Homo-oligomer: A and B are copies of this chain.
Amino acid sequence: MAHIHKVNGQDYVIEIFEDHYLQGWKLEKELLSKKSKFQQVDVVKTKSLGNMLLNDNLVMTSDRDEFAYHEMMAHVPLFTHPDPKNVLIIGGGDGGTAREVLRHKSVASCVMVEIDEVVVEACKEFIPTTSNELDNSRLELLIDDGVKYVAETNRKFDVVLVDSTDPIGPGAPLFGEEFYKNVKRLLNPKGVVVSQAESGWYLKENQQSLLSVLKNQFKNIGLYNYSNITYPGGLWSFSWASDELHPIHDFNERRVAESGLDFKYYNSKLHTAAFCLPQFYYNSIGEYINI
C-alpha cells in the first residue's frame, strides 16, 4: 500500500526519503496497489501531477513531469551517436524511455529488458503517457533480468540506456562492476551507455561509486543534469560512458533541427549546457569525469 497521510484534513500520498525528508502530493484516488515478486507497486492519481507510479513507496514517474527524465536520457546519446540503429534499454518498465528512443527514425530495433512485469502492466493500464509505444513493432520487450541479459546476449548495440531504480532492491546490481563489464562487451566501438545516476545533492556516494565503476571500463566519462519535480531535490543526473563518442565534440545541433522532432524538455542548447555542473559536483565527482 502507498503511504497515505492526512495533513490538515487532506489525504496526501507520501514518499519518505532516507529518514530525513518527505514529499507528499494531494491524493485524488488510489488506482493500483500490488505486490510483485520484486517490489510493492502502486499507482495513485494526484491533484497536481496526474497519475503517479511508486515502487516500494518511492516515486518513479508522473504524468506531469515524466518527459524531463525520458527526453534527457534518450536524446543526449541518440543525437550524439551518428547513426544509432540498435538500442538496448535495461529497466524502463514505464515505457517512457522507449517512447523517446523510437522517435528516432534511424533506430531499427530497440530491446527493452524489464525485470518486473507488474510495473509494465500497471503503466499500460494507468500511465498511457509513458507506455503508449510499448506495442511498437520496433520494440522487443523482454520480461527478464537485465543483469542476466547482458551477461548472456551476443547482440551488439549502439546505445545502452540503464533506466534503473535506486541501487537498493532489484536495481542494485545495475550499479555494479560485473554489469558494466558486460555492457561494454556488447557495445559497438562507437557505442555509449547512459545511466540513471542519482542525485548530487543527496546521493553523492552513489554517484561516486557508479562513476568509479564506469571509469574502470570506459575512456570518456561524464555526468549531465536534468530537473524534475518528483525526485528529492529536483536536480538529478545521468552518467555518460563511451570509448570514442564525445557528447559535446561529436554533437551537431543541425541533426536536432533536421530531425523535425519537438520536445518539452530537451533542446540542442541544453544538450551541452546539461554537462555544466554546479561547482559542488566537481568537488564530489570531478576525479571520475573527463567531459
Query: A residues touching B (Cβ–Cβ < 8 Å)?
Result: 5, 7-8, 10, 12, 14, 16, 18-26, 46-48, 65, 68, 201-202, 225-227, 229, 232-235, 262-267, 269-270, 272-274, 276-280, 282-283
Contacts and interface: CB of A to CB of B under 8 A. Distances in A.
Contact of A20 (B47, B234, B263, B274): B47
Contact of A279 (B22, B266, B272): B266
Contacts of A22: 7, 12, 22-24
Nearest to A200: B227
Contact of A21 (B23, B202, B263, B273): B23
A280 B23 CA distance: 24
Nearest to A48: B20
A235 B229 CA distance: 8
Nearest to A276: B273
Contact of A229 (B202, B269, B272, B274): B202
A21 B7 contact: no
Contacts of A225: 227
Given A7-B14, A21-B48, A229-B234, 7 more contacts: A21-B23, A23-B24, A202-B229, A227-B227, A264-B280, A272-B276, A273-B276
The 4 nearest A-B residue pairs measured at CB: A234-B234, A273-B276, A273-B273, A227-B235
A226 B234 CA distance: 11
A72 to B, nearest CB: 9
Nearest to A270: B276
Contacts of A227: 201, 225, 227, 233-235, 278
A69 B23 CA distance: 21
A62 to B, nearest CB: 11
Candidate in A225, A266, A267 with the most chain B CB atoms within 10 angstroms: A267
Given A233-B234, A279-B263, A25 B16 contact: no
